[in-house]
């Protein structure tokens, strides 16, 4: 599931995710051979930093076993070995030519006795729609923006640098954060090509933060940053078997991030553990005068979310369970049933709820909000970005003139629909915002308050379907990104297990600025279940 799944549903009534077919996506390989780009089904992974956490890396640096430079070099070699070669996952669109010099400077600080915090010397990848005022491009995966280098860092990138992180590179994504076509293929961009799922390489990595999810899962970095409008952090996290956090809209600044929606956009951490996600979120949060909505987070952000991590955090809690996800044909359903049983065994009281019944009718309104806000936001971004194109109309014209390279598989009807609309003063826009945002907030708040719930849990999405560049994404079944996305509320996904070798995530959703309590619940579940499994880069499933 990516944040544009609802564009593919006939009624625009919500996100839909897949049940898994056991048949291969591609033709079966010749005996003894794997298809192009696929490694052996049970390939051993001897990478020195495989599954290493932020704390693991800090321990190695503080103990003198490794330096930040050595760690950065290892990750750069890892990217070359499995992203550019080997299984060719295509998760990283560009590496930072300054990464090693940044690491050297941070090693000097450490040697002088200065350690900025838990991210000091830690390599981090960011999505290629986030500005970095350096030698790297910011393109949203689009050839129309090729060559564009931002004049300054996005606010969250400034925060990363202040925290002592090493900006390792940028990740591939679904082009324009998957807001180009209703027939798009998640993880594909005209600049970066197709990102592959690291578990079974002909399956979708989901999107739009596809590269960030795959890079984290395949240990090409310690942690990464994605962005979400509706599902684009939590879905690729679910499909990559990692932890993804979509925070409350307003907790993180959006300044310097190529936008879709002023009411729904946010960046978010992607990590292999809840603890690492908590560390990264604290480093990114902050009030920014360039993004007015962050004023609402004043006094609500936590300087240290790790202090809320408690292995007994589920005891005595009341958890709402989306009852529609407890049944059905999806291979995610049995995993969800097991997860609910574990929550109960850990001391939580389970209450069945039906949020989707209240939000399924809001999809068309949400889509209209995004169409209006995309044109407004992109035009404002491009007006001052110094990019080759200056307006959304310029982007559309570039793609039309360069169709063979820019649109070899699917078109740009979503961009064109957005371009045709008038401004944000439109009554239709205002009505759509009120319906989608207020409707979703009422559904979540009333459910949480009525049953005195600490959170609502659901299936993030089902197992990944096949990559299909001809027909586009084909998701079916349960998924739960839209309620929190439309409301602007926090959402954390944690690995819930594997279905036929493909990861599935468990969603924790709460009220505005409830990140701390969601971390408590997510961590307790993670520690009790321990269902994160590293990928093995398998080729296609065959029956």
Active-site positions read: 127, 208, 232
13 contact partners, CB below 8 Å, separation of at least 6: 6, 360, 361, 363, 364
Residue 200 tokens, joined = 């079974």
Instruction: Please report the beta strands in 215-300, taking only residues with DSSP state E, as ranges in sequence order.
Output: 223-228, 243-246, 266-271
Compute the half-sphere exposure of residue 162: CA atoms within 13 Å on the CB side of its CA.
Answer: 12
Instruction: Please report the beta strands in 193-250, taking only residues with DSSP state E, as ranges in sequence order.
Output: 193-194, 223-228, 243-246
CA distance 103 to 80: 19
CA distance 128 to 284: 17
CA distance 464 to 503: 8
**Bridge partners of residue 248, in order along the sequence:** none
Give 529-541 as a DSSP string.
Answer: H--------B---
Compute the half-sphere exposure of residue 330: CA atoms within 13 Å on the CB side of its CA.
Answer: 28
Nearest to 211 by CA among 102, 136, 150, 129: 129
**Bridge partners of residue 86, in order along the sequence:** none
Return the DSSP state at 144: G
Return the DSSP state at 248: P
Q: In which residue are the tokens 């969601």 written?
A: 518
- CB contact burial 304-327 (16+ within 10 A = b; e otherwise): ebbebbeeebbeebebbbbebbee
Query: CA–CA distance from 108 to each of 56, 74, 103, 113, 249 (Å)?
Result: 20, 19, 9, 9, 37
Dihedral (C-alpha) 49, 54, 55, 58: value to the nearest 10 degrees? 80
CA distance 416 to 409: 17
**Bridge partners of residue 350, in order along the sequence:** 319
Q: Using DSSP, state whether 520 is helix, strand or coil.
A: helix
Residue 484 tokens, joined = 């929190």
Main-chain phi, psi angles of 367, to 5 degrees:
-60, -40
158 and 176 in contact (C-beta within 8 Å)? no
């Amino acid at each position: 599931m990516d944040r544009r799944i609802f564009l593919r549903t006939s009624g625009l009534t919500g996100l839909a995710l897949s049940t898994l077919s056991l048949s291969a996506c591609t033709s079966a390989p010749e005996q003894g051979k794997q298809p192009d780009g696929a490694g052996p089904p049970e390939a051993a992974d001897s990478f020195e930093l495989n599954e290493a956490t932020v704390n693991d890396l800090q321990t190695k640096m503080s103990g003198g076993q490794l330096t930040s430079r050595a760690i950065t070099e290892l990750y750069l070699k890892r990217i070359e070995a499995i992203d550019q070669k080997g299984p060719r996952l295509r998760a990283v669109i560009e590496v930072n030519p300054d990464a090693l010099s940044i690491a050297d400077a941070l090693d000097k600080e450490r040697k002088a006795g200065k350690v900025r915090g838990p991210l000091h010397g830690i390599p981090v990848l960011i999505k290629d729609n986030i500005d970095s005022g350096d030698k790297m491009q910011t393109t949203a995966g689009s050839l129309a923006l090729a060559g564009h280098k931002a004049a300054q860092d996005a606010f969250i990138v400034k925060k990363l640098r202040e925290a002592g992180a090493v900006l390792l590179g940028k990740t591939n994504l679904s082009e324009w954060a998957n807001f180009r076509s209703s027939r798009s293929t998640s993880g594909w961009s005209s600049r970066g090509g197709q990102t592959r799922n690291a578990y079974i390489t002909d399956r979708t990595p989901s999107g739009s933060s596809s590269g960030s999810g795959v890079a984290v899962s395949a240990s090409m970095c310690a942690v990464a940053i994605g962005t979400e409008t509706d599902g684009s952090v939590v879905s690729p996290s679910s499909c990559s078997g990692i932890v993804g956090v979509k925070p409350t809209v307003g907790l993180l600044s959006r300044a310097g991030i190529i936008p879709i929606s002023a009411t729904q956009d946010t960046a978010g951490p992607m990590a292999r553990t809840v603890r690492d996600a908590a560390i990264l979120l604290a480093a990114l949060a902050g009030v920014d005068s360039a993004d007015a909505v962050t004023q609402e987070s004043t006094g609500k952000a936590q300087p240290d979310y790790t202090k809320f991590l408690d292995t007994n955090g589920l005891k005595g809690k009341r958890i709402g369970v989306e009852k529609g996800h407890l049944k059905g044909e999806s291979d995610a359903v049995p995993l969800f049933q097991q997860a609910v049983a574990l929550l109960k065994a850990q001391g939580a009281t389970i209450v069945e709820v039906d949020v989707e019944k209240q939000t399924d009718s809001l999809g068309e309104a949400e889509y209209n909000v995004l169409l209006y806000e995309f044109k407004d936001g992109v035009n404002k971004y491009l007006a001052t970005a110094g990019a080759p194109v200056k307006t959304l109309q310029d982007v559309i014209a570039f793609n039309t003139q360069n169709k063979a390279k820019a649109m070899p598989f699917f078109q740009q009807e979503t961009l064109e629909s957005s371009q045709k609309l008038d401004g944000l003063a439109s009554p239709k826009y205002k009505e759509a915002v009120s319906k989608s945002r207020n409707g979703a907030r009422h559904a979540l708040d009333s459910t949480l308050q009525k049953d005195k719930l600490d959170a609502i849990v659901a299936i993030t999405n089902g197992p990944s379907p096949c990559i299909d560049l001809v027909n586009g994404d084909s998701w079916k079944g349960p998924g739960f990104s839209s309620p929190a996305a439309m409301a602007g509320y926090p959402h954390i996904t944690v690995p819930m297990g594997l279905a036929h070798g493909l990861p599935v995530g468990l969603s924790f959703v709460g009220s505005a600025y409830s990140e701390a309590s969601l971390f408590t619940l997510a961590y307790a579940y993670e520690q009790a279940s321990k269902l994160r499994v590293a990928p093995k880069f398998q080729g296609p499933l065959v029956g």
